[in-house]
Structure 1
Amino acid sequence: MTTVRIKGFKIFKDRHGRMRCYHRETSQKIDLVKAPLGSAAFFTECEKITAIAEANKAKAPKVGTLGGLIQSYYETEHFKNLAPATRRDYRQCADFLEPIRDTPIHTIDTPLVAGIHDKAAQKIGWRRANMLRTFLSEVFRFAIPKGLISANFATGVIPKPRPAKLAYANRPWEREECDIVLEHAPPHVRVVLAVLMNTGLDPSDALNLRRDQIDGETIWGVRGKTGVEVAIPIGPTLHAALKQAPQHDAPALLANSRGEQWTYNGFSTVWHRFKTGLEAEGLIQPGLTLKGLRHTVATTLREAGLDERRIADLLGQKTLSMARHYSRSANLAAKNRETMATLETENARRARIVKPSAKSVKPEPKG
């Protein structure tokens, strides 16, 4: 039998006596049944695999370039431990930088990064441009200890300000808006909104809550975005809302009309349809968002006189280690119980202002 040799491919006989062939670099196999060894189809497959391998090699970031720095950052534990949403945002930043990924490291400096930042603001907006700046800062920060770059050239770049005329993206809800939405919401939607209004949780974190995260009168959780532990006492208002929620067998605390755990996209779709209907009827003004309820809790507490540190503790905005001891969270829960009591009192006070009792309404004079 004629011996066939192709550069970059391993051709051999397996333990069953059958001929095998694969590309050494990519481990891509060739089906020798469909493309017999030495046939025209076989050589075509070899050429195709080789061409793909060379194309992929050309795409790979080069050492000593911006693309190489980004690839090095992707391999760090820091990047791998980021929340999925943050990793996705960072990869989108890298996609924007793709046209200049071969920029040599020795040419990177603060003016260059500032220019990239300016161009990004024009093309993808001020918010995404600032995300790009943050991404580059992280890439440079983790490249410095490895000796890959001399300094963090992104820290000297000034973030783009929020445009003065831009509407508040997630404005706080008014008390009347909260009442109207809760009054008209279907039961399986109402309980989700009640959780958001009375905890300050991020919508995605609230929808991911499990029943076993409630211990007594406290919700124990971890912010998906930052990994910070939170301990949120359950006040009377939320307790009543949970008690009135539709019963279901899902391990999640919150479930849809089928008794299954909500997905974020699923609830967002239902919420948007429901909200649009209320807007069409003129019952609420445009601009209500789920994330806006997190702002609502913070604003309510701030206006009630609580300091920013206590509000941040409730919302899980303090940077802490994932290995934070459970007892420390317990101490935080005790402090947050006072914070939640303030929220309950302030919401009740606002409700009385918005909805005056019948006794306070003076009858119109007759005649």
Structure 2
Amino acid sequence: MTLIRVKGFKIFLDRHGKKVRCYHRKTGESIDLTKYPLGTAEFFAECGRITAVSNAQKLLEPKAGTLGALMQFYEETDHFRDDLSAVSKKDYRWCRSFLESVKDTPIHIIDTPLISGIHDIASEKRGFRRGNLVKTYLSEVFKYAIPKGLIDENYAKDVINKRRPKSKPRANKPWSLAEITLIFTRAPAHISAPLGIMLGTGLDPTDALELPKSAIQDGVIWDWRNKTGHEQAVPIGPLLRAVLETIAPHDAETVLANSRGQSWKYSGFSSSWHTFKNNLATEGYPVTHLTPKGLRHTLATSLREEGQDERAIADVLGQKTPSMARHYSRNASLAKKNKKTLKSIRKREKALAEVVKPSRKTVKPIAPEGGTI
């Protein structure tokens, strides 16, 4: 049997020497010869389609020695794949998409003025926050490319961040007591409980939703911040105890669960929160500016108003400062230190506990097997 030849494709008999097979060499995509018989017009049309798709994909691949190649290299590092939170990965992928138009920029012409110009354009088109995010992303790309000899210098590190315009309202503002009272009075338990955990611990929304039941031990909520890798150790006081009492028993591995008793996904909680908030807004309540992240600011503001210093507040919130990136291991001293810090707002906590207490019959608080709250 004579087999025809098609450039880029391998056509051959199987190991039994009976059945003809065909596949595209570069992509490995096979052709179903029962659907597209060998040598027919349909067969050649399918070969053409596969070749065209392969050529189009090749055009999308970053060229060696370009900014695009550096970005692809960074996204293949362990830091990007394993260390970053899902939210950070999503933000950085947005940055790569935004930089698509300059991905073919040769590495040898990249310098600080060029990156500053990209930063300016991103800030002008997408706002100062997104502009700063693009600059941060490029800084990470260059930082991880330098040790591999792919680029000589981090040309983004000296680019100055854009400041928030004075006329622009500050995002994630702390909630007032009146706003907390309104939300916790009206919100169903599966929404108010996550908000209460955020308010009492200062956890970021994603970290709060992913908080495992095993994080509650010996009267303390232990957790690692996805963003910084720093540990938080928040003693359970009146506020958190009241919040935990609103959570009905469920089988999810996380402390918090949605209305179906399953672990929250951030997108699901965000959707439920916006629907609830928008319904309040249609009733005339001025709540559109409220954000779950604002509850972290609420706790920080309360501690600051009680005279706590920045280092003590940073310990409670699991933050690191530019002057000192200290790693906190899990130990009793950190929990003891934070317990003393949080005592300064116990009176306020007790008042908030009364706000978040459920009007229905109190359910047994959630605690891991062998754990205590």
- TM-score between both structures, scaled by the size of structure 2: 0.86
CA contact (8 A) 2:135 2:156 kept: yes
Q: 2 CA distance for matches of 1:188 and 1:339?
A: 29
Quote the residue 1:236 is aligned against. 238
Contact 1:202–1:291 (CA under 8 A) maintained in structure 2: yes
CA distance in 2, matches of 1:188, 1:264: 13
Deviations, residues 116-147 of structure 1 (Å, cap 9, x unaligned): 11111111111111111111111111222222
- Give the deviation of 1:155 after TM superposition: 1.7
1:242 Cα offset (Å): 1.3
Q: What does residue 365 of structure 1 align with?
A: none
Counterpart in the other structure of 1:31: 32
Distance 2:104 2:232 in 1: 43
Q: Secondary structure at the match of 2:7?
A: coil
Q: CA deviation at 1:338?
A: 1.8
Distance 2:288 2:57 in 1: 48
Q: What is the CA distance between 1:167 and its match in structure 2?
A: 0.6
- Which segment drifts farther, 231-240 or 282-291? 282-291
Q: Does 1:18 align with 2:10?
A: no
- Aligned with residue 102 of structure 1, among 89, 101, 104: 104
Please give the alpha-carbon distance, in whole angstroms, between the structure 1 residues aligned to 2:56 and 2:353. Answer: 65
**Residue of structure 1 equivalent to 2:367:** none
After alignment, is 6-15 or 108-117 more displaced? Answer: 6-15
Count how many residue pairs are aligned between Structure 1 and Structure 2: 348
Unpaired runs of 5+ in structure 1?
Answer: 353-367
| Between 231-240 and 125-134, the greater mean CA deviation after superposition | 231-240
The Cα offsets for residues 156-194 of structure 1, whole Å up to 9 and x where unpaired, read as: 211111100111111001122222322232233332222
- 8 A Cα contact 1:177 1:284, kept in partner: no
Note the 1:2-151 alignment, pairs <5 A. 2-16=2-16, 17-81=18-82, 82-151=84-153
- Residue 253 (structure 1) shift: 1.4
Partner of 1:359: none
Do the aligned residues in 1 keep the contact of 2:213 with 2:255 (CA within 8 Å)? yes
User: Does 2:301 match 1:299?
Assistant: yes
**Counterpart of 1:97 in 2: which secondary structure?**
helix
Taking the TM superposition and a 5 Å limit, the aligned residue runs for 1:302-317 are: 302-317=304-319
Written as runs of structure 1 = structure 2, the 5 A alignment for 1:315-334 is 315-318=317-320, 328-334=330-336
Q: Which amino acid aligns with 1:243?
A: E
Matched residue, 2:269: 267
SS in 2 for 1:221: strand
Q: Residue 206 of structure 2 corresponds to which residue in structure 1? A: 204
Q: Distance in 2 between matches of 1:126 and 1:226?
A: 22
Q: For 1:78 and 1:292, locate their aligned partners in 2 and report how far apart those are by CA, in whole Å.
A: 28
Partner-residue secondary structure (3-state), 1:145: helix
Residues 304 and 346, structure 1, Cα contact 8 Å, conserved in 2: no
Say if 2:62 and 2:103, in contact at 8 Å, map to a contact too. Answer: yes
Whether the 8 Å CA contact 1:229–1:329 is kept in 2: the answer is no
Task: Report if the CA contact (8 A) 2:257-2:263 is conserved.
Answer: yes
- Structure with the greater relative contact order (CA < 8 A, sep ≥ 6): 1 or 2? 2
Shift of 1:283: 5.3
Superimposed CA distance per residue, residues 316-352 of structure 1 (whole angstroms, 9 cap, x where no aligned partner): 213567xx75xx3443222222223223234448999
Q: 1:191 aligns to what?
A: 193
Q: CA deviation at 1:12?
A: 2.2
> Per-residue deviation at 1:18?
2.0
Compared with structure 1, are the counterparts of its residues 343 and 4 closer, same or farther at alpha carbon in structure 2 (3 Å cutoff)?
farther
What TM-score does the superposition give when structure 1 sets the normalisation length? 0.87
- The answer to whether the Cα contact below 8 Å between 1:62 and 1:68 also exists between their aligned partners in 2 is yes
Q: For the Cα contact (< 8 Å) 2:239–2:350, is it kept in 1?
A: no
Q: Which deviates further from its counterpart, 159-168 or 185-194? A: 185-194
Between Structure 1 and Structure 2, whose CA radius of gyration is higher? 1
